[in-house]
Structure 1
Amino acid sequence: MGRVTKYNLEKLLRRPVEVALASEFRYCEPIVTDKTLAIVISQSGETIDTLAAMREARRLGARVLSIVNVVGSTIARESDYVLYTWAGPEIAVATTKAYSTQLALIYLVGLYFAEVLGTIDEEEYKTVVNELLLIPSKVEQILDSKEAIQYYASIYFNHDSVFFIGRNLDYAVGLEGSLKLKEISYIHSEAYAAGELKHGTISLIEQGTLVIALASYGKLFEKLMSNVVEVKARGADVVGLTTESRGEELKKTVDSAILVPDTHPMLLPSLDVVPLQLFAYYVALMRGCDIDKPRNLAKSVTVE
């Protein structure tokens, strides 16, 4: 979520955005002033590391905007400003709908700030808002074709290791897809920026390794395809994900393709994450895992 926020807000606002792990924030002597806005994102509003990071940011003078789901939670109460996602109760430990609603709020915050700063023109603003309103119906389209994702899960559910690769926003979404897969299926999974493959990661690719290549971000599609060729040359099986408009081009390079409807580039994470969540769900189901309550995990982390 943080990396999607960084990419989108920096494009919209032309202001530097730093992503910090809440568990590390207090210990890295962060550069925070009274001109800093700290955006704190939490489903439960009670995660101890996030709460501690927020308090440290406020101590250093930052204003805090929190994005939380649980009304009246500690983070919500202690923030200067709060936006609720209104995702409703989420029973499963591995969050899905909270992630989607957090994305929607980040888009709206970014658009509002960009309008105030004058870094977005009126036509672009209207285009993004209109496309945002279409996201629910486009998600329905993806859900209507979930049988293909279920089929891919039936082929690859017995793999011991899975790699997600992407560039820019695709890399950011890959982090979430990888997290979901490891959380509920107990498969070792990692996400990498595709441009970093040759700096070490590619040594892990061998015959039959599953690589999920996210290629929805149009500006970097060709570069991502070059990375796909590289891993396939080392024996990887590649499942590619892109938009419908690039589907035929993708199919020329990957072994299997998952397509999502086209939308504004900024909003692609909202669509791309759905098939990745479905893939993780079906893989975990076929492995006999407890999907709602994965082992060793809790809904809210309340100890450091």
Structure 2
Amino acid sequence: MCGIVGYIGVKPVKKILIDGLRELEYRGYDSAGIAVLQEGHFSLFKAVGKLVNLEEKAQNYESTGFSVGIGHTRWATHGKPTELNAHPHLGQNSYVVHNGIIENYQELKTMLTAQGIQFLSQTDTEVIVHLFEYQLKTAATPFEAFQQTLSQLHGAYAILLVNADAEGTIFFAKHGSPMIIGRNRENETLFGSSDAALIGKCHEVIYLEDGHYGYASADSVALFDENNNPVVLRYTPLSENKLSAQKEGFRFFMEKEIYEQSRVLADTLLGRLRDESIYFEELDNNLFEGINEIKLCACGTSYHAALVASYLFERHSKIRVSVEIASEFRYREPFLTADTLFIVISQSGETADTLESLKMAKRSGLKTMVICNVDNSSMVRLADASILTRAGIEKGVASTKAFATQVCVLWMLSLFLGGARKTLATEEIKRQIHLLRALPSTVNVENVLHEQLRRLSKRYLHGHGFFFIGRDVFYPLALEGALKLKEISYLHAEGYPSGEMKHGPIALADPELFTIALLPQHMLYDKTKSNIEELSARDSTICSISPLDFDKADDHIRTHLHEDYMLEFFEMMVVLQLLSMEIAIRLGNDVDMPRNLAKSVTVE
């Protein structure tokens, strides 16, 4: 949630900050703002809504010469999306931007208010700048005041703070929220919540660890750990192949990302398929020694990928599997045993609840693995092993290609483990590899299908809501389809196992309840068909997705005949993504930036 940027240098600061925020806007778009310190004078611009509104506010501002700037794009946590609540927040002589949640802000605010300090916003962030200036009254230096401020903050944060008495300096801190420092060949220093904001501006970066803090000036960076010990700067080259995603003629990034699933799945498979085995260069076979259980942990779409994986691990690897929602798991008192492999799944590698769950597993002595799309993310650096999904930058808030690549990696991992545990015959592994090789063509979007879904979408704009139903791996796919529709259309939708309809939900069935039924040929077809017929008999409007005709359907989306249910899974996944997108577009929604959501959930 939220994206922050910072810059110290002589280039036009407004362009650098806004360009960086544009790459981070997917992290939050309730409001945005920038603050620039130049020759002892602050310039501040803030606007509610998307970044274009900030650009209009600041269109007449230009800077020349050396300056320091910070910027922020907000996903609201404390306080409504208003200009007063937008970052940067100001004190008497300082500005701050912050990503995260200060859990003890109310206690600190009460203390500061008692000292006569007035607050302008409803946010937790404003506490930081006022606390800093309160400490500055007695501290020997601004940096000492910053250290004292950090010692009183509880919660998650990535902070950039600028003070007029320390012109030319940005104070920074990371605890629980991502922060990256970059530098370029002109010895300029930049900051970002993600390296996407720094590509093209920096040639090397430092990925800060939790507890890191310090200050940066025009020609140096001072970095300290949570025990106040100096940290040696270790820069990593910034890869140039993570180019800024462009729409390339598509109406939305989401549409582009659905269409490019064929290519990214080919990338996911690249180098990992042998004739008779799955090969992960990243994995050491010792990781699986003594492992008798797998625990998968994730949130949102990644949780649905984990549910799919639970079926595949049990089926292929013959191993006990449990799946946890990270936001629940981290506050339980789970019984964890040393023979458990703890696998977390996250597109960004920064999801707050999942990251904390990973830390719990590490503290408990479990072997850990992360399935992730972002190298050098917090989870990748923390886990014992990692497998990158290679999905590329995903700008649409509603995940599409990240889900596809997660399921693909987990499918391969179930075969890898099945081979290692000798629970799959070589011939079956070869058959599964043959199926995996067919994935890129399976998810290729055909114009005829897309046009059918575009026309069909107008029939599903109004009603009581939606049921998405399926069995086996198609149940978590139903959950994912319902989530996609909810996220971008704002229509109520629920995913259910087909067999659960008669246990309560069927009471809602009537012509204004739309049922999206996943009816694969190769997975419990007759059982699922019977469940759908029960809904049809009660006048629910049925939209079936199947390679076989179904005469009880009001609408039918015909998929291709495939030799295995997993290929049916991936084609139906594309159908659900496109249908949800077309419904949302007809309703006039911005599918890339749905209301109340953000791409990377780095707060609880």
TM-score, normalization by structure 1: 0.94
Whole-Å separation in 2 of the counterparts to 1:119 and 1:130? 18
1:160, CA displacement in angstroms? 4.3
Q: State the alpha-carbon separation in 1 of the partners of residues 382 and 447 from structure 2.
A: 38
Q: Which amino acid aligns with 1:289?
A: N
Q: Flag the 1:39–1:88 CA change in 2: closer, same or farther, 3 A.
A: same
Q: In structure 1, what is the Cα distance between the partners aligned to 2:410 and 2:569? A: 12
- Give, in whole Å, the separation in 2 of the partners of 1:30 and 1:144: 49
- More RCO (CA 8 Å, sep 6+): 1
Q: Does 1:252 align with 2:551?
A: yes
- Distance across 2 between alignment mates of 1:140 and 1:272: 12
The secondary structure found in structure 2 opposite 1:218 is coil
- Secondary structure of the corresponding residue to residue 320 of structure 2: coil
Deviation at 1:141, TM superposition (A): 5.3
1:231 aligns with 2:530: no
**Distance in 2 separating the partners of 1:29 and 1:130:** 42
Q: Report the equivalent of 2:104.
A: none
Q: Which residue of the other structure, out of 272, 279, 286, is the alignment partner of 2:586?
A: 286
In structure 2, relative to structure 1, the CA distance for the partners of 1:69 and 1:174 (3 Å cut) is same
What SS does the corresponding residue of 1:148 show, helix, strand or coil? helix
Residue 91 of structure 1 aligns with which residue? 395
- Aligned match for 1:77, one of 375, 378, 381: 381
Cα separation, 2, equivalents of 1:291 and 1:280: 9
Distance 2:317 2:414 in 1: 7
Moved more, 213-222 or 102-111: 213-222
User: CA 1:143–1:61 in 2, change beyond 3 Å: closer, same or farther?
Assistant: farther
Residue 276 (structure 1) aligns with: 576
CA contact (8 A) 1:158 1:287 kept: no
Residue of 342, 347, 351 corresponding to 1:43: 347
Deviates more, 1:216-225 or 1:37-46: 216-225
> Is residue 295 from structure 1 mapped to residue 595 from structure 2 by the alignment?
yes
> Which whole-Å CA distance do the structure 1 matches of 2:516 and 2:474 have between them?
11
* Whole-angstrom CA distance in 2 between matches of 1:166 and 1:104: 19
Residue 34 of structure 1: SS of its match in structure 2? coil
Deviation of 1:298 (Å): 0.8
Alpha-carbon contact 1:32-1:61 (below 8 Å) kept: no
Q: Distance in 2 between matches of 1:144 and 1:84?
A: 33
Distance in structure 2 (CA, Å) of the matches to 1:160 and 1:143:
30
More deviation, 259-268/170-179: 259-268
Does the 8 Å contact 1:211/1:236 carry over to 2? Answer: yes
Q: CA RMSD in A?
A: 1.4
Give 3-state SS (helix, strand or coil) of 1:20's partner.
strand
Deviation at 1:177, TM superposition (A): 0.4
Partner in structure 2 of residue 153 of structure 1: 457
Q: Which moved more, 1:215-224 or 1:113-122?
A: 215-224
1:12 maps to 2:316: yes
> 1:241·1:259 contact (CA, 8 Å) conserved in 2?
yes
Letter in 2 for 1:94: A
User: How far apart are 1:267 and its partner, in Å?
Assistant: 4.4
Letter in 2 for 1:241: I
State whether residues 510 and 541 of structure 2, in contact with CA within 8 Å, keep that contact through their aligned partners in structure 1.
no
- Which one-letter code corresponds to 2:365 in the other structure? G
Equivalence for 1:65: 369
Aligned length: 299
3-state SS, counterpart of residue 344 of structure 2 = strand
CA distance in 1, matches of 2:448, 2:387: 31
The answer to whether the 8 Å contact 1:142/1:260 transfers is: no
Distance 1:8 1:29 in 2: 27
**C-alpha distance in 1, partners of 2:541/2:475?**
19
Aligned to 2:336: 32
1:95-244 aligned at under 5 Å gives the runs 95-140=399-444, 142=446, 144-216=448-520, 218-242=522-546, 244=547
CA offset digits 1:116-159 (Å, max 9, x no partner):
11111111111111111111112125565211122221211233
User: What is the TM-score of this pair, normalised by structure 2?
Assistant: 0.48
- Post-superposition Cα deviations, 1:7-42, rounded to whole Å, max 9, x if no partner, equal 111101111110100001122222222211011100
Shift in alpha-carbon separation, 1:32–1:70, aligned structure 2, 3 A? same
C-alpha distance in structure 2 between counterparts of 1:49 and 1:104, whole Å: 23
Query: What is the deviation of 1:263?
Result: 4.0
Amino acid at match of 2:436: L
Aligned to 2:118: none
User: Are the equivalent residues in 2 in contact too, given 1:185–1:287 (CA < 8 A)?
Assistant: yes
Instruction: Letter of the 2:573 partner, please give it.
Output: V
Change in 2 beyond 3 A, CA 1:270/1:75: same
Report sequence identity in percent.
40
Q: Which amino acid aligns with 1:2?
A: A
